């Protein structure tokens, strides 16, 4: 059974930092791209970042470039999102998702999310 | 930057009725479009990929169509469990990035 479990969310002050983690099981983590997607309370989905299998390619939505860094540790089946310079508008539920190129292309498995709240 | 516009924002229908959800892209995305379903309190689920292909385990009452800039998700005969928000999503080949539409909320009367 495929599972993705996020952790690391919490309450942080504006300008602060946080590291989110996503541990996966049930598939060969090192064979897949991975993505982070967030959802502000009561709002829609926003793709945040993704990373290639070996970490050699990373892409970000413009609103987080220079502040967030996606990384992975294939030996630990883990995905990370390092968030610096947090702003109130970063408050959201953060999901990790398996990012498939072919058959089917898209985000085919998702975790249940970890909540990040940026507030003083 | 490609913008996806979904309509209507909210759709209220009865069980057994047909639902038609629209997604329009600000520029052509070929068939690189997917649909996701998000039920209350749950993570999103991939429904349709490449505009018209059902993902594994998705019931046949869900179908997708379109290419270029105009796409449609059709639910042929609504079930009560189809209550959800539906999002379209486009992917760019390179850089490999995604954009979501703002969602259509489907209410079941």
| pLDDT higher than threshold 90 for residue A69 | yes
| pLDDT higher than threshold 80 for residue B77 | yes
Mean of all residue pLDDT scores within chain B: 96
pLDDT at A102: 81
Work out the widest C-alpha separation in chain B, in whole angstroms: 42
B64 bridge partner residues? B73
Instruction: Show residues of chain A in contact with B91, CB under 8 Å.
Output: 105-106
Instruction: Show residues of chain B in contact with A62, CB under 8 Å.
Output: 1
**What is d(CA A67, CA A59) in angstroms, rounded to the nearest whole number?**
13
pLDDT tens profile A70-83: 999 999 999 999 99
- Quick one: how far is CA B63 from the chain centroid? 9
Q: State the distance between the two ends of chain A, measured CA to CA, in whole angstroms.
A: 40
Compute chain A's Rg from CA coordinates.
14
**What is d(CA A88, CA B52) in angstroms, rounded to the nearest whole number?**
38
pLDDT tens profile A26-50: 999 999 999 999 999 999 999 999 9
* Contact between B34 and A106 using a beta-carbon 8 Å cutoff: yes
Residue of B93 and A23 predicted with greater confidence: A23
Compute chain B's Rg from CA coordinates.
13
* Contact between B34 and A111 using a beta-carbon 8 Å cutoff: no
* Contact between B44 and A45 using a beta-carbon 8 Å cutoff: yes
Give the burial class of A66: count Cβ atoms within 10 A of its Cβ; 0-12 exposed, 13-18 middle, 19 or more buried: exposed
**What is d(CA B77, CA B24) in angstroms, rounded to the nearest whole number?**
23
pLDDT at B93: 83
Work out the widest C-alpha separation in chain A, in whole angstroms: 44
**What is d(CA A82, CA A3) in angstroms, rounded to the nearest whole number?**
21
């Amino acid at each position: 059974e495929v599972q993705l479990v996020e952790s690391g969310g919490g309450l942080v002050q504006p300008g602060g930092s946080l590291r989110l983690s996503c541990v996966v099981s049930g598939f060969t983590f090192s064979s897949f791209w991975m993505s982070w997607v967030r959802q502000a309370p009561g709002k829609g989905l926003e793709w945040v970042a993704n990373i290639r299998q070996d970490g050699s390619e990373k892409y970000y939505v413009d609103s987080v470039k220079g502040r967030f860094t996606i990384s992975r540790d294939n030996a630990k089946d883990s995905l990370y999102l390092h968030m610096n310079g947090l702003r109130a508008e970063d408050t959201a539920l953060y999901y990790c998702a398996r990012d498939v190129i072919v058959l089917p292309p898209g985000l085919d498995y998702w975790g249940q999310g970890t909540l990040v709240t940026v507030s003083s | 930057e490609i913008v996806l516009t979904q309509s209507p924002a909210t759709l209220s229908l009865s069980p057994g009725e047909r639902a038609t959800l629209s997604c329009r892209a600000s520029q052509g995305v070929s068939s690189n479009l997917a649909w996701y379903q998000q039920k209350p309190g749950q993570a999103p689920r991939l429904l349709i990929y490449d505009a018209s292909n059902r993902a594994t385990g998705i019931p046949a009452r869900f179908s997708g169509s379109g290419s270029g800039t105009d796409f449609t998700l059709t639910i042929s005969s609504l079930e009560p469990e189809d209550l959800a928000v539906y999002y379209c999503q486009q992917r760019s080949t390179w850089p490999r990035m995604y954009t979501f539409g703002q969602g259509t909320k489907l209410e079941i009367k």
